[in-house]
Structures are given as C-alpha cells and as structure tokens.
Amino acid sequence: MAELGRAALIVTLGLTAYALVAGAAAAHVGRRRLALSAQNALVAAFGSTLVAAAVLLAALLRNDFSFVYVAQTTSEALPTAYTVSAFWGGQEGSLLLWLLVLTGFGAAAVRLNRGWARDLVVWVVPVFAAVALFFSFLVVVVASPFATQPAPVDGAGMTPSLQNPYMLAHPPLLYLGFVGLTVPFAFALGALISGRMDERWLVATRRWTLLAWTALGIGQLLGAHWAYEEVGWGGYYAWDPVENAALMPWLAATAFLHSVMIQEKRGMLRVWNVLLVILAFSLSLFGTFLTRSGVVNSIHSFTQSSIGPWFLAFIAVVVAVSLAVVFWRLPQLRSPTKLESPVSREAAFLYNNLLLLALCLAILWGVVYPMLSEAVRGEAVVLGRSYYDFFLRIFGLPLLLLMGIGPLVAWRRASLRSLGTTFRWPSAFALVTGAVLLGLGAGSSVPGLIAYTFASFVAATIVLEFARGTRARKALGAASWPGAFSSLISRNRRRYGGYVVHAAIVLLAIGIAGSSAFDTVAEARLTQGQTMSIADYRLTYESLDERSAANATELRAKLQVARGDRDLGTLEAGKNAYTIEQQISNEVGIRSDPLTGEDLFVIAEQIDPDGTIYLRVFVKPLVNLIWIAGLVFLLGSLIALWPDAREQRRLVERTRDVGVPATR
C-alpha cells in the first residue's frame, strides 16, 4: 500500500499547488468560481493527506517492515500505543502529521470564515496553500514516509526514552501549536495583501491563536514532565535548543495575545501585531528546522538530514515576503490613536510585550550562538544554563510583577493616587509574605524570594478582581453569590479566563522558584542495608530486583523511605535494558507529597554487578505546583476559548449591517 500513500501525497502536492496558483489568480482578477475551486482544493488536500496518514498508520499497526520508516522506528515487541506514537516519533512521519494538521486547520479556518469574511478569505487561501505546498513537497520529494525496502525480520525499535505515555500527547500537542500559528499568519498576510485592514482578521483568528497557544503551553508542560520522569537527570527543563524551539513561538504568541487586546480596545499597535504574528509563525518554522536539520545536539532532535537547507530557505522566503508586504501596507497600518499615558493598561501591556520579546530574543540568541560561533570560528560555543537563567530573572521577574499590575490599571490613563488605592492591599500582602518567607530562611536565594513576593502580589490582585467583580454582579441583580460568580465569568470569558491563566503562571513561578532555588541534593554509594540522609528524609537500600517486561529487562533498587519517625513506604529506582534497541535508560523513583507539593527524587546513577548502587537524590519543594499549573492553565484557556454568544451576536449584527451575509 506504499504506492497509495505516495500517490495520495502527490495528489496533495498537486492540490496545494493548484490552490496557490488558482487562489492567487482568483483573488487578483476577482473570479468567484475559481476562488471557490481553490478553497475546495484546500479541503481536498486535507482528504488526500488523511488517506496518506491512514496508509502509514496501517503499516505501523501491521508492523510492515517493508516500509523503511516502520522498520526504523518500531519493532515487533513494541507495545501498540508506542507503535502508534511512532507516527510522529520519526522525521518523515512527523512531517506528514504536520501536513495533515496544516491542511485540516486550513480547510476548517477557510470554511468557518468564508461567509462573513469572504473578501478576506480569498487571499488567505493562497497563503495557506503556499505553506502546505512546501510541506507536501518535503514529504513527496525530500523525506517520504513511504520509501520501501525488502522487509527485514524485525525493526530497529524505538528510542527507549520515547517509550513513555507522555510521548503519546506531547509531540502532537506541539504540532497543533506550531501548525495552529499558521492560521493567524495566513489571515494576517491575507489581510495585508488584500488591504482589508479592518478587525475581521483578528476576530477570525482569535480563537485559533488561543488554541495554538494553549496546545503549545500544555505540550511544553507535558514535555517537561516527560523529561522529569524519563530522562532522569533531576530536572524538567534544560534550556535544550529543541525545548527552546517550542518556548520561543509561545512567548511571541503570548505577546500577541496581549497586544491584540490593545488593537481591539484602542485601535493601536497594528504594525506591531502583524509583526508578532509573523515572528511567532517564523519561530515555529525555525523550531521545526532546529529539530530536523541536525544542526543542534539535543535529546529531542532527529538525526542529520537533508531537509535543513530547504527549511532555512523557506524561513528566509517567509520572513522576506512578509516584511515586504508589511512595508508596502505601512500607510494603511497607521494607528488612529496614540498612547495617552505611560500609566495605563495599554502601556502596561506594551511593557509586558517588550519584556516577552526581549526574553524571546535572548533565548533565540542563545540558540543560534553555537551555530554562528561554529560558522565564524569553527568551534561551537554553547551558552549554558547560567546565560538563560540570567535573562529569565532579568525579564521574567518584572513580567511576573506586571501580570499583577496590568489588569488593575485603567485603560487610557490612571492617576498615581488611584494606583495607590488599587494596589494598597495586594502590595501589603506581598510585603508581609516576603517578610515572613525571609524570616523562614527563604533569603538564601534572592531571586527565589523576589519570585515568591511578586507571585503573592499577583495572586492577591487576581483574588481581589474576582471578589470585587462578583460583588458588583451581585449588586447588579444576580440571585446568589455562585450565580454572581458564574455571571461574572460568562459575561467576560476572555478577561476572567485570562485571570485564571495568570493564576496558573503564579503557580508555575512558585513551583519553578521552589524546585530550582530551594532544592537540596545529596549523593551516596550504598550497599544493601546501608542508609543515606537528605533534608529530613532517610533512605535505606533494601534489595536489588531484576524482572522482565515486554521489551526490556528492568533492574530496580528498592529503598525504604522514612521522614523523622514516620515510615513512608518503599521507593524504586533503577535502569531498563532494552534488548532490541541495545540501549539502557535511567528509571527514576519519585515520591510526591500531596500536601506540600514536594518531591523526593531518586536516580540510581550506577548499579555495580555486586549490587552496590550509586544514588543521586533530590528534594524538590513545591515542584508539583508546576504540574497543577498545567491543569489551571488548561481551565483558564478553555474559559477564554469558550464561544461567547453575546460577542457572536454583536459580530453578526455588525456584518449584517454592512451587507455581508451573517453566516460564519
């Protein structure tokens, strides 16, 4: 069936080429049927890519090793769930998934908006088609998932670290995020080319951007949890280039989600917003280039391949064309209003944007510096953790503080006296919290103490906003307090969903500060019966067990854990030896305290043949708040994403008023 897969992708290539040429011609000369035909081509491209994806999935599930891709990424012994995840576990499959999501998003975004924004959508189609054409070219010509060979007896298997449940969700979510950023890019570029600089492109892409941003955020957190549990080095984020590749577009999209509010509320920052959209999309392409080109050494990256130059050329074209179009439309992008005061909500959002962008560019420099130094000096100089930590503190801590300030400052301008009244209680709460923590010894890490103090300030402002809002809704006639609370959120989902997301960032900041600035580490070499201590934990090495799993031999050291006089049960840490893959992985032992959010984290660094083990043990305070932050982040995003009937009605009335049919 490889022929069917290949043919389906050739059909996709033809359809996207047609959608590009016919769509651009139809938009240029104003031909209705040709424009519809180009839109249909985009929908059909999704159908043909779906067929190709089904062929690859069937080959994976049948262990058809005549497919080179299947033989390289799976084996007979691989559990079915990981066989499915092999779809995106290798380069060719992940590119196919990218194309599938891209054509699916393109078809959906065009169909959902072609009624009410038809004059805009005709220009969006060729932009989508151009991006899809590039990816279909890659999977047809450069990196086909349907290359065949005489079938070997068994496959090479999957990298052990990828045999983890998180790998079922982490990569697809990142792809949803990366590819989702194509939607605002296509609409922004479509709006620029067509000269339709009204707000419709923002309205059409608002939820798509939020969806992509949410998927990227959750995908990164799942990736961090995977690294924490599976990679076995004692952390969850290593500033690895490929981790950074997902963080950079997320930061750019975060900046856009804030600055777009200024355009919606004040009609300002039009150039800035299109530049942020272009940046976010370009960074998502750059991230893909990093993962697939082999230019960086990373646990996540695929092997050296020939697609790097193609990606680099495509990124260059995207950036050059986008900037040229922005420059061409500059006169139309001029804002009718100006910033009235440096003390206003829009100013706070602007500062937030500058900090986010500065952090994003500092990370970008850290990522490209080894490549540049290798190109110039012939030696790759890698910027270490201290470089990134420095900029995280310099830009991240003020960002955290601004998260509390921004939403409580009035639009346009606010008096200093008013600010004093507004921030009196949150500031007092933060100062008291800081003083108490200082008294408890948190002064051992100044950045950590500042992070806790700022986080408590933001938390207080969020609680205050919900409390005041609920009280106001109750005064406006809500029947009960829960009714008032519910009405508060449902009447302004974006604002209050945003506050819930801010609460998630507060939890994340506390979790990161606690686990990185206040963690404890100890190392020991133990023989059976010996005990080691760390913080107030005691670990006694009881036994070493060996057992067989489906595709690996598991070696586990059993440790008895006690805290003070209390027995906390046993914990296992060890290694897996994967037979087919011929690799050994660290399998860490983690004991979480649900009350304090603290983890006891054990790595069996070395297991000698005589049963002696070399342990590295961490105590990570509050680390579990990071994972809880993920759930809160998802909740806030869902609130903000939820359709708002009032807003829909207003948009329908507006478009009907102009004469455009109100169907969306």
Partner 1 sequence: MTLALLLAALLAVACVLTVALPFLREPEPESDSLEELDETERHRLELLEARDRALAALKELEFDHRTGTVSDDDYRALVGPLRREAAAALQALEGVRTFVTQVPVGEGRPTRERIS
Report, in Å, the least distance between residue 150 CB and partner 1. Answer: 16
Binding of partner 1 by 122 (CB under 8 A) = yes
User: Of 13, 16, 24, 48, which lies in the binding site for partner 1, with binding defined by CB under 8 A?
Assistant: 48
Say whether 532 sits in a helix, a strand or coil.
strand
- If we measure between CA atoms, which residue out of 351, 492, 357, 341 comes closest to residue 419? 341
- If we measure between CA atoms, which residue out of 611, 655, 583, 630 comes closest to residue 161? 583
Report, in Å, the least distance between residue 22 CB and partner 1. Answer: 8
Q: What is the dihedral of CA 11, 13, 16, 18, to 10 degrees?
A: -70
Sequence-ordered list of residues with C-beta below 8 angstroms from that of 634, at least 6 positions apart, any chain = 214, 218
Judged by CB under 8 A, the number of residues near partner 1 is 64
User: Of 104, 115, 447, 483, which lies in the binding site for partner 1, with binding defined by CB under 8 A?
Assistant: 115
User: Of 138, 174, 408, 607, which lies in the binding site for partner 1, with binding defined by CB under 8 A?
Assistant: 408
Residue 591 · residue 229 · CB < 8 Å: no
User: Of 405, 414, 539, 625, which lies in the binding site for partner 1, with binding defined by CB under 8 A?
Assistant: 414
- If we measure between CA atoms, which residue out of 571, 641, 579, 580 comes closest to residue 613? 571
Tokens of 364: 């970008």
User: Of 472, 521, 549, 631, which lies in the binding site for partner 1, with binding defined by CB under 8 A?
Assistant: 472
Residues 117, 118, 124, 125, CA torsion sign:
positive
HEC profile of 116-141 = CCHHHHHHHHHHHHHHHHHHHHHHHH
HEC profile of 171-219 = HHHHHHHHHHCHHHHHHHHHHHHHCCCCCHHHHHHHHHHHHHHHHHHHH
User: Of 387, 411, 614, 642, which lies in the binding site for partner 1, with binding defined by CB under 8 A?
Assistant: 411
Alpha carbon distances (Å) from 202 to 120, 210, 608: 11, 12, 61
Report, in Å, the least distance between residue 105 CB and partner 1. Answer: 18
Report, in Å, the least distance between residue 70 CB and partner 1. Answer: 16
Binding of partner 1 by 572 (CB under 8 A) = no
Sequence-ordered list of residues with C-beta below 8 angstroms from that of 328, at least 6 positions apart, any chain = 192
Binding of partner 1 by 165 (CB under 8 A) = no
Residue 250 · residue 176 · CB < 8 Å: no
Report, in Å, the least distance between residue 576 CB and partner 1. Answer: 39
**Nearest to partner 1 of 263, 293 (CB atom):** 263
Tokens of 18: 């047609």
Stretch of residues binding partner 1 (CB under 8 A), selected from 161-169, 182-190, 326-334, 466-474: 466-474
C-alpha span between 264 and 337 (Å, rounded): 12
User: Of 225, 413, 474, 558, which lies in the binding site for partner 1, with binding defined by CB under 8 A?
Assistant: 413
**Nearest to partner 1 of 31, 558 (CB atom):** 31
Burial 195-228 (b: 16+ CB within 10 A, else e): ebeebbbbbbbbebbbbbbbbbbbbbbbbbbbbb
Tokens of 535: 């913080």
Rounded to an integer, what is the distance from CA 356 to the centroid of its chain?
15
**Nearest to partner 1 of 89, 469 (CB atom):** 469
Residue 116: CB atoms within 10 A of its CB come to 22
x-marked contacts with partner 1 along 129-148 as a string, rule CB under 8 A: --------------------
User: Of 199, 229, 542, 644, which lies in the binding site for partner 1, with binding defined by CB under 8 A?
Assistant: 199
Binding of partner 1 by 475 (CB under 8 A) = yes
Report, in Å, the least distance between residue 427 CB and partner 1. Answer: 15
Rounded to an integer, what is the distance from CA 410 to the centroid of its chain?
31
x-marked contacts with partner 1 along 206-245 as a string, rule CB under 8 A: ----------------------------------------
Binding of partner 1 by 658 (CB under 8 A) = yes
User: Of 79, 152, 267, 611, which lies in the binding site for partner 1, with binding defined by CB under 8 A?
Assistant: 267
Specify whether the backbone of 358 is left (phi greater than 0), alpha (psi in -120 to 50) or beta: alpha
Binding of partner 1 by 66 (CB under 8 A) = no
Binding of partner 1 by 650 (CB under 8 A) = yes
Binding of partner 1 by 41 (CB under 8 A) = yes
Pairing mode, if any, of strands 583-587 and 589-593?
unpaired
Beta bridge partners of 67: 148
Tokens of 294: 């082999």
User: Of 89, 93, 172, 469, which lies in the binding site for partner 1, with binding defined by CB under 8 A?
Assistant: 469
Site for partner 1 in 294-333 (CB under 8 A): none
Stretch of residues binding partner 1 (CB under 8 A), selected from 47-55, 90-98, 299-307, 500-508: 47-55
Binding of partner 1 by 35 (CB under 8 A) = yes
Binding of partner 1 by 30 (CB under 8 A) = yes
Q: Which helix (H) or strand (E) holds 615?
A: strand 613-620
Report, in Å, the least distance between residue 221 CB and partner 1. Answer: 31
Binding of partner 1 by 474 (CB under 8 A) = no
User: Of 47, 234, 308, 447, which lies in the binding site for partner 1, with binding defined by CB under 8 A?
Assistant: 47
Binding of partner 1 by 262 (CB under 8 A) = no
Binding of partner 1 by 351 (CB under 8 A) = no
Stretch of residues binding partner 1 (CB under 8 A), selected from 5-13, 162-170, 303-311, 314-322: 5-13
Binding of partner 1 by 18 (CB under 8 A) = yes
Sequence-ordered list of residues with C-beta below 8 angstroms from that of 308, at least 6 positions apart, any chain = 289, 292, 293, 294, 295
Which residues bind to partner 1, rule: CB under 8 A? 1-4, 7-8, 11, 15, 18, 26-27, 30-37, 40-41, 43-44, 47-48, 51, 114-115, 118-119, 122, 196, 198-199, 264-267, 408, 410-415, 417-418, 421-422, 465, 468-469, 471-472, 475-476, 650, 654, 657-661, 663
